[in-house]
Amino acid sequence: MKQAYETSATLAGYNFAFLDEQTKRMLRRAILKAVAIPGYQVPFGSREMPLPYGWGTGGMQVTAAVIGAKDVLKVIDQGADDTTNAVSIRRFFVRMTNVATTEKTREATLIQTRHRVPETPLSEGQILVYQVPIPEPLRWLEPRETETRKMHALSEYGVMHVKLYEDIAQHGHISTAYDYPVLVNGRYLMRCSPIPKFDTPKLHMNPALQLFGAGREKRIYAVPPYTEVKPLDFEDHPFEIERWPEDCALCGAHDSFLDEVILDDKGGRMFVCSDTDYCGERREAGHTGRMSAPYKAEAAE
């Protein structure tokens, strides 16, 4: 079976990239509008995709609309190339477009991501597609869609600060750790999908085109290359990113987003890069961490 997919250009009976051309055109119109108005949520006619809502249907539709036969696709889920969601989506696009795939951030022209921005800096010409569960930053503060639209239209974003105020009042610091609210191009308040706030500064003045797709909520928005993206904060409680007590146990990186892995029930733990490609690349280049020796030696500790 596998052989058949790789030989035929696309799966018989399906259009290139699954969606029909009319639908892709509609999506591209929405994307163009989104690029023209950075941070503005453009409604679009979301289609049924062959996986459930919440699994990245929005991101997949955006990817399907912009992918070309010469693209090199990378799909990550929480930074990893080898998790279920990433593997299924990558395999889907291979079957539907027969494009080349890669795990290397540098080699990819199109990256679909769930909940992370790759550690390796992106460059001009690359497109980063985010999967967005809830696009509306004001949703939990104002349940009415008509009202939030009006608030966006009139730039009434004071209530977002009420939420951050509440964070500080209850926890002593801004405890919003992911999906951090940002102001795009000095105008629209935007949710940057549930990426950790560690990644938020990477959106600012990024040379790559960043597209956001929310399938269930039927919204597309974008941050064009070199656009100002400013996290909201208070003068006396400025925006800060997470820090970890240790470096990556495998590659020794101290500048990447780390996952904490519990090793046993005696308090053993390790911190490891969430971006598997970045970690692997560093190890290849000869960097080592606390546990990068064979695992047995560590278990004895």
Residues that bind other proteins (CB under 8 A): 150, 154, 156, 158-159, 161-163, 165-166, 168-170, 233-237
* Choice between 156 and 246, CB closer to other proteins: 156
The tokens for 146 are 């008509």
Question: Would residue 273 show up in a list of annotated catalytic residues for this protein?
Answer: yes
Which member of 56, 59, 213, 251 is catalytic? Answer: 251
The DSSP code sequence of 204-250 is TT-SSEEEEEETTTTEEEEE-TT--EEE--BTTB-------SS--TT
Q: What are phi and psi of 49, to 5 degrees?
A: -115, 160
Give, rounded to a whole angstrom, the gap between the first and last alpha carbons of the chain: 47
- Closer to other proteins by CB, 236 or 264: give it: 236
What does the alpha-carbon distance between residue 280 and residue 5 come to, in Å, rounded to a whole number? 29
Structure token digits, residue 281: 């690349």
Token pair 């546990």 in the structure block, residue: 291
Q: What are phi and psi of 227, to 5 degrees?
A: -110, 140
11 or 141: CB nearest other proteins: 141
**Smallest gap, in angstroms, from Cβ of residue 203 to other proteins?**
21
Instruction: Indicate the helix (H) or strand (E) that contains 261.
Output: strand 258-262
DSSP state at residue 193: T
Q: Out of 58, 79, 273, 289, which one is annotated catalytic? A: 273
Nearest to 256 by CA among 130, 117, 148: 117
Residue 173 CB, shortest distance to other proteins, in Å, is 10
Which one is catalytic: 56, 59, 213, 248? 248
Is position 192 annotated as part of the catalytic site?
no
Q: Which member of 39, 58, 59, 289 is catalytic?
A: 39
| Nearer CB in complex with other proteins: 87/168 | 168
What's the closest the beta carbon of residue 153 comes to other proteins, in angstroms? 8
Minimum CB separation of residue 278 from other proteins in Å reads 35
Measure the CA–CA gap between 110 and 205, rounded to whole angstroms. Answer: 18
For the record, the structure tokens of 63 come out as 């990817």
Q: How far is the CB of 37 from other proteins (least distance, A)?
A: 18
Provide the annotated active-site residues.
39, 248, 251, 273, 279
